[in-house]
Amino acid sequence: MIANDLLRKTRLADQSILARGRDVIAAESHALAELGAALDENFAIATRLLAATIGRVVVTGMGKSGHIARKIAATLSATGTPAIFLHPAEASHGDLGMIQRGDTLLVLSNSGMTAELHVVMQHSRNLGIRTIGVASRIDSPMMIDADVALALPAIREACSANIAPTTSTVMMLALGDALAMALMDLRGISRESIKQLHPGGSIGLRLKTVAEMMHIGSRIPLVESRAPMRDVIMTMTSMGFGVAGVTDWSGRLVGVITDGDLRRHIGDLLDRNAADVMTPHPKTVPSDMLAEDALLIMNDAKITTVFVMNADDRDRPAGIVHIHDFVRHGLS
């Protein structure tokens, strides 16, 4: 009886915890919706100001706003806009030297009254640096002094006491992402540009193309359409891919021969040539296709090998990739 009562109370407590978690997420979702609706022409002005920055974007904030500022600086740098984080407390002890003419200052403070930010803004003003302020109080000293003011909706924190930064920091983070993405589009930052900034890690892996992992040159198992099947089998076994691509007289890929094709013609296989046995119109991928997209195509088609076609001439094979190549590079 006591155990059942304890279990009932535990379940009630769990339901209360779940309800509280959902309330917080709902409150923050509402705050983001309000933020989106509140964006005005100042957002476009701020984005263009960042795009015109000759130096770097210096992002600063104190406390929880500082943590968000670090993330915004990292996102800007990762998407093609040089940015650094400046700790406002350290700024007064020599780190003001991190700010240079040609930079743009992005300042975060929910209240707009953070004392440590005053020194940073004053120094930036002395250098002729433009400032973008982000706060929930448009009449605060920080927002009044900023060249461009991005006001956050004045919404209660998700904290019951309305103290712990929750909805305010979520809005700051989302606004930072919005600026970074709008700036990325404005500058025309391409996938290739992002790839150059992410040579490693999961992002670098996702941006890898099949051209970077394909086998090329003499490693491509190709035979002419008139080749006798004895030669075709030698090519298939010696190359180690278990397939052979069939080309016409001009070098265009016109078919593929797999183990399945060999079995279907086993009765008179050696009396035939490649054109007789091949499967026409094989599945191929262009050399500039992302490796993860090529892997999806291979999985959908249930094939272990695919020919990679020249990006400038989709009829001519540039290489070949095997499913093991994707695994070797960390894609599976």
Does 169 share its domain with 267? Answer: no
Does 87 share its domain with 179? Answer: yes
pLDDT reported for residue 139: 94
Average pLDDT of the residues in 58-72: 96
Task: Report the CATH number at residue 293.
Answer: 3.10.580.10
Backbone angles phi, psi at 161, to 5 degrees: -90, 0
Does 239 share its domain with 122? Answer: no
pTM equals 0.69
Does 171 share its domain with 238? Answer: no
Does 155 share its domain with 61? Answer: yes
Average pLDDT of the residues in 133-153: 95
Domain assignment present for 234 = yes
pLDDT digits (tens, 9 = 90+) for 267-325: 888 889 999 999 999 999 999 888 889 989 999 999 999 999 998 888 899 999 999 98
pLDDT reported for residue 190: 65
Does 124 share its domain with 227? Answer: no
Beta strands in 274-329 (DSSP E): 279-280, 284-286, 305-309, 317-322
- In the chain, the number of structural domains is 2
Strands 284-286 and 279-280: unpaired
- Tell me how far CA of residue 182 lies from CA of 195, 207, 325, in angstroms: 18, 21, 36
Q: How confident is the model at residue 195 (pLDDT cuts 50, 70, 90)?
A: low
Is the model's pLDDT at 13 over the cut of 90? no
Is the model's pLDDT at 135 over the cut of 70? yes
Is the model's pLDDT at 194 over the cut of 70? no
Backbone angles phi, psi at 222, to 5 degrees: -120, 145
pLDDT reported for residue 9: 64
Domain assignment present for 66 = yes
Does 22 share its domain with 132? Answer: yes
Q: How confident is the model at residue 328 (pLDDT cuts 50, 70, 90)?
A: confident
**Relative orientation angle of helices 64-78 and 167-187, to the nearest 10 degrees:** 20
pLDDT reported for residue 187: 85
Is the model's pLDDT at 198 over the cut of 60? no
Does 185 share its domain with 221? Answer: no
How do the residues of the chain divide into helix, strand and coil, expressed in percent and rounded to 5? 50, 20, 30
Average pLDDT of the residues in 58-78: 95
Does 35 share its domain with 181? Answer: yes
Least confident of 132-136, 178-182, 239-243: 239-243
Does 159 share its domain with 217? Answer: no
Average pLDDT of the residues in 3-18: 74
Is the model's pLDDT at 222 over the cut of 60? yes
Domain assignment present for 198 = no
Domain assignment present for 310 = yes
Average pLDDT of the residues in 178-187: 92
Is the model's pLDDT at 202 over the cut of 80? no
Average pLDDT of the residues in 196-218: 77
Task: Report the CATH number at residue 95.
Answer: 3.40.50.10490
- Tell me how far CA of residue 230 lies from CA of 226, 243, 256, in angstroms: 12, 14, 15
Q: Is the distance from CB of 57 to CB of 106 less than 8 angstroms?
A: yes
Domain assignment present for 3 = no
pLDDT reported for residue 176: 97
In 3D space, the residue among 209, 216, 231, 223 whose CA is nearest the CA of residue 290 turns out to be 209
Domain assignment present for 197 = no
* Enclosing domain of residue 225: 210-328
Domain assignment present for 203 = no
pLDDT reported for residue 192: 67
pLDDT reported for residue 267: 87
Distance, CA of 204 to CA of 194 (rounded, Å): 9
Does 24 share its domain with 167? Answer: yes
Does 85 share its domain with 39? Answer: yes
pLDDT reported for residue 196: 65
Q: How confident is the model at residue 15 (pLDDT cuts 50, 70, 90)?
A: confident
Is the model's pLDDT at 203 over the cut of 80? no
pLDDT reported for residue 327: 86
Three-state DSSP state, 146: coil
pLDDT reported for residue 314: 84
Q: At which of 123, 155, 189 does a domain end? A: 189
Q: Mean of the per-residue pLDDT values for the chain?
A: 90
